[in-house]
Copies of this chain bind each other. A is one copy, B any other.
Amino acid sequence: MSFPERTTTAEIELGDTLRPKFDADGLIPCITQDATSGEVLMFAFMNAESLQHTLRTGKATYWSRSRRKLWVKGEESGNIQVVRELRTDCDQDVLLLKVEQSGPANASCHNGYKSCFYRRLVSRDDPAFRLEFTSQPLFDPAKVYKKK
């Protein structure tokens, strides 16, 4: 399975065919959002193989740049993401997945939080750039991930 080719700006931006742009490293950014609440859960990259795997299995599958391998989300922790919808942006160089976060802890972040975006800036004119936590972890990472 390969993806339709990139054609004209008009076809890419206003057409009705998925024509994803993979960058020089073969990657496309992917934003993952909770399909029900709209909470942004995480941000990662896909390559063509991981996008194909996501579409074939219905489970969010990314490309791990650090481990240089296909990354089926939740394959280790059990906290998988079932894809409900896949969107692309105007110029089709970004993907947006709407998922149902599933599994024992219902969490996306390796630090145990539902979302990776668990901290916000307290004030935009704070010279110390302090962050405050907006949620509590749902699991203890030390107990879920095996030491390697």
Residues of A near any B CB (own CB < 8 A): 1, 3-4, 13-19, 29, 31, 33, 37-40, 42-43, 54-56, 58, 83, 85-90, 94, 96, 109-111, 113, 116-121, 124-125, 127-134
Report copies per complex: 2
Q: Give the 5 A-B CB pairs with smallest separation, nearest first.
A: A38-B38, A18-B129, A89-B116, A87-B117, A55-B124
Given contacts A43-B89, A87-B118, 8 further A-B contacts (CB under 8 A): A17-B130, A18-B130, A18-B131, A33-B38, A40-B96, A55-B124, A88-B131, A90-B110
CB distance from A74 to the nearest CB of B (A): 16
CB distance from A109 to the nearest CB of B (A): 6
CB distance from A37 to the nearest CB of B (A): 7
Q: How far is the CA of A42 from the CA of B29 in the complex (A)?
A: 12
Interface centre among A4, A40, A56, A89 (most CB of B within 10 A): A89
Contacts A16-B132, A17-B130, A40-B31 known; A111 to B87 CB distance under 8 Å? no
